Amino acid sequence: MEYSEKVMEHFMNPRNVGEIKDADGVGEVGNPVCGDLMTMYIRVKDDVITDIKFKTFGCGAAIATSSMVTELVKDKTIKEALSITNKDVVDELDGLPPIKMHCSLLAEEGIKAAIEDYRKRKDKKDSRNQRFEIEN
Amino acid sequence: MDNLIYLDHGSTTPTDQRVVEAMLPYFNKLYGNPSSIYSLARESKRAKEDAREEVAKLLNAKAEEIVFTSGGTEADNSAIKGIAFANKAKGNHIITSRIEHHAVLNTCKWLSGQGFTVSYIGVDKYGVLDLDELKGAITDKTILITIMHANNEVGVIEPLAEIARIAKDSGVCLHTDAVQTVGKIPVDVNVLGIDLLVLSGHKFYGPKGVGALYIRKGTKIASLLHGGYHEGNRRAGTENIPGIVGLGKVCKIAMEEREEDEKRVKALRDDLEERIAKKIDDIIVNGHPEMRLAGTLNICVKYIEGESMLLCLDHEGIAASSGSACTSASLEPSHVLTAMGIPAELAHGSLRFTLGRSNTKEDIDKVIEVLPPIVSKLRKMSPFGKG
Ligand SMILES: Cc1ncc(COP(=O)(O)O)c(C=O)c1O
Ligand code: FES
């Protein structure tokens, strides 16, 4: 099994590692296949993902795809971010060994979970604001 | 590869230069088929029988009790299937352990689809076989007990002599996969009381693709390979003469150098173990503190995953291995660590160093220099805190 140079480059120098304090959305996903874990933090402004950070417990492919997906969605709209698939991430990395394809799902699902969390929080906030308006 | 620090001797070893030289003439100078009659062929036959003597000597066996094979896997298959099929009338029950190499485990698994039943005996947290469970598992249908001498992942050495006593008391045949011990620790088939034993050349500086099966005289066994009359009709196929010569040579070297080698390797391993434990928090050393192969250090590094550690080590020119789910083709954590009660998330961070003859103190220094920063870098990336 061999990783592409691009995978190794992202693995050795992962982009956007860390956490965002007071993030607008946090997604935590696990890989049912091998038991790995990933947390994505996003900051959203005017429907655009302005900042993103990740933490991953997993193999080289899991770390490289986490890193790549953060690059792909940064400065994109929520809609654009949601359209990115694990296949896009793998293509950007010049492929993954077949046995490692499942690792890239973590990256796609991590973003989706973070966005879902962001939307939930926003809905809550919006409905709170609405109530406010009525009371006034 | 010149600067490679090779710490994966449990997987394979470089072939000793003296062994390579002993083998070379048998490729294109003394290439006769040992089954033929002319003098060129007799050279091959003589070389083969000399090699058999050397292998037998190392095990304190008789030459005629040694059958050459294509390696450990074939020998394990031959032993287990051979005993199973030869003793069908007697019974259909096989006992093994939960920590065997796949060469044994998957052979047993296959047999369980062929009308045999298999009991898998557990181990304690050090990987030592549960002898009471073994005793309790034996029935009047038991025809074979197969327990490895030392485990390839954690290096634990099983109490074979005691296992042999239990087998003998019940009149059951005992096979051992000694691929990890032959050439490293004393292996005497008579002191241990073994009926069948498997060794493999490439694990102790011999060539790959050659091994041997010891079969105690009088043991009833069926052959795995049918064909010509080779190896006393026990293993058909024109013999791998260069490989067999190499195996004989490496057994001879092991007789003379094993003890010195192991002393040196143990000192290096102990140093590595001590310094890793001092430099890195939250690690666990796997396997038995004393009953362990001299070269093996298996640790779990909490909060991070094994493959990513291996990739970083490789980047620094260090070759090691791991029992993490991510490094196994099945994406299951190591069955050995699991059997020892190590939870999956810890097994995920397992790292195995197996030291050997070529290693030096400088190699250990290098690991101690690069491993702690690798661990802290990966821990910073890990969602399990500790960043
Ligand atoms: C304990 C054990 N048994 C069997 C084998 C298989 O031996 P071989 O590689 O010669 O087939 C190995 C090594 O891979 C091993 O470590
Ligand atoms: S995350 Fe476990 S194999 Fe990739």
The answer to whether the Cβ–Cβ distance between A55 and B381 falls below 8 Å is: yes
CA-CA distances (angstroms) from residue A83 to A15, A115, B318?
Answer: 21, 12, 40
* Predicted pLDDT at A121: 94
- All residues at 6 or more sequence positions from B372 whose CB lies less than 8 Å from its CB, including other chains: B279, B280
Does the beta carbon of A26 lie under 8 angstroms from any beta carbon of chain B?
no
B9 in contact with ligand 1, CB cutoff 6 A = no
Tokens representing B314?
Answer: 């490789």
The alpha carbon of A34 and the centre of ligand 2 are apart by a number of angstroms equal to 6
Q: Supply the mean pLDDT for chain B.
A: 96
Give the mean model confidence (pLDDT) for residues B159-187: 98
Superfamily per CATH, domain B5-12+258-381:
Aspartate Aminotransferase, domain 1 (3.90.1150.10)
* Predicted pLDDT at B332: 86
* Predicted pLDDT at A118: 97
A58 in contact with ligand 2, CB cutoff 6 A = yes
B180 in contact with ligand 1, CB cutoff 6 A = yes
Write out the E strands in chain B.
Answer: 5-6, 66-69, 93-97, 117-121, 142-146, 173-177, 196-200, 211-215, 283-286, 296-301, 318-319, 350-354
Q: Where residue B385 falls among pLDDT bands split at 50, 70, 90?
A: low
Q: What φ, ψ does residue B261 adopt, rounded to 5°?
A: -55, -50
Chain position carrying tokens 């029992």? B323
Work out the widest C-alpha separation in chain A, in whole angstroms: 64
CA distance A84 to A70: 11
> Nearest-CA neighbor of B222 among B105, B144, B306, B274?
B144
Handedness of CA A33, A36, A41, A42 (dihedral sign): negative
Indicate if the pLDDT at residue B198 is higher than 50.
Answer: yes
Indicate if the pLDDT at residue A1 is higher than 90.
Answer: no
Give the mean model confidence (pLDDT) for residues B137-160: 98
- Nearest-Cα residue of chain B relative to residue A14: B381
Q: Where residue A124 falls among pLDDT bands split at 50, 70, 90?
A: confident
Indicate if the pLDDT at residue B1 is higher than 80.
Answer: no
| Eight-class DSSP state of B15 | P
Share of chain B above pLDDT 70, in %: 99
Residue boundaries of the structural domains of chain B: 5-12+258-381, 17-254
Q: Where residue B387 falls among pLDDT bands split at 50, 70, 90?
A: very low
* Predicted pLDDT at B377: 96
pLDDT tens string B16-36? 999 999 999 999 999 999 999
Handedness of CA B323, B328, B332, B335 (dihedral sign): negative
- All residues at 6 or more sequence positions from B136 whose CB lies less than 8 Å from its CB, including other chains: none
Q: Where residue A112 falls among pLDDT bands split at 50, 70, 90?
A: very high
Cα A44 from chain centroid (whole Å) = 13
Asked if B186 and B158 touch (Cβ cutoff 8 Å), the reply is no
Q: How far is A18 from chain B (nearest CA, A)?
A: 7
Chain position carrying tokens 């979970």? A113
CA distance B321 to B306: 8
Known catalytic residues of A are: 34, 103
pLDDT tens string A31-74? 777 888 999 999 999 999 999 999 999 999 999 999 999 999 99
B254-266 CB burial, b ≥16 within 10 A, e <16: beeebeebbebbe
Distinct helix (H) and strand (E) counts, chain A? 5, 3
Does the beta carbon of B326 lie under 8 angstroms from any beta carbon of chain A?
yes
What is A5-135's CATH topology? Answer: Sufe protein. Chain: A (3.90.1010)
CA distance A111 to A85: 10
Task: Give the side-chain half-sphere CA count within 13 A for B167.
Answer: 24
Predicted TM-score (pTM) of the model is: 0.94
- For the CA of B305, the nearest ligand: 2
* Predicted pLDDT at B31: 98
Minimum-distance CB partner of B326 among A34, A37, A55: A34
Greater pLDDT, B324 or B311: B311
pLDDT tens string A2-23? 899 999 999 999 999 999 999 9
A105 in contact with ligand 2, CB cutoff 6 A = no
Q: How far is A56 from chain B (nearest CA, A)?
A: 5
- Protein residue closest via CA to atom 3 of ligand 2: B326
Q: How far is B355 from chain A (nearest CA, A)?
A: 24
Indicate if the pLDDT at residue A129 is higher than 60.
Answer: yes
Q: Where residue B194 falls among pLDDT bands split at 50, 70, 90?
A: very high
Give the mean model confidence (pLDDT) for residues B81-97: 98
Give the mean model confidence (pLDDT) for residues B362-386: 93
Asked if B318 and B370 touch (Cβ cutoff 8 Å), the reply is yes
Q: Supply the mean pLDDT for chain A.
A: 92
pLDDT tens string B237-285? 999 999 999 999 999 999 999 999 999 999 999 999 999 999 999 999 9
A113 in contact with ligand 2, CB cutoff 6 A = no
Chain B residues in contact with A56 by the CB 8 A cut-off are 381-383
Interchain CB contacts (distance < 8 Å): A and B = 63
Residue from B308, B351, B378 to probe the interface with A (highest A Cβ count within 10 Å): B308
DSSP string covering B87-102, please? TTTT--EEEEETT--H
Q: How many residues does chain B have?
A: 387
> Nearest-CA neighbor of B198 among B222, B178, B224, B171?
B178
CATH of B17-254, one of 3.90.1820.10, 3.10.25.10, 3.90.10.10, 3.40.640.10: 3.40.640.10
Tokens representing B214?
Answer: 């010891």
Q: Where residue B173 falls among pLDDT bands split at 50, 70, 90?
A: very high
CA distance B271 to B288: 17
pLDDT tens string B2-12? 689 999 999 99
Q: How many CB atoms lie within 10 A of CB B184?
A: 26
- Examine the residue annotation and report whether B326 is marked as an active-site residue of this protein: yes
- All residues at 6 or more sequence positions from B171 whose CB lies less than 8 Å from its CB, including other chains: none
Greater pLDDT, A126 or A58: A58
Q: Where residue B295 falls among pLDDT bands split at 50, 70, 90?
A: very high
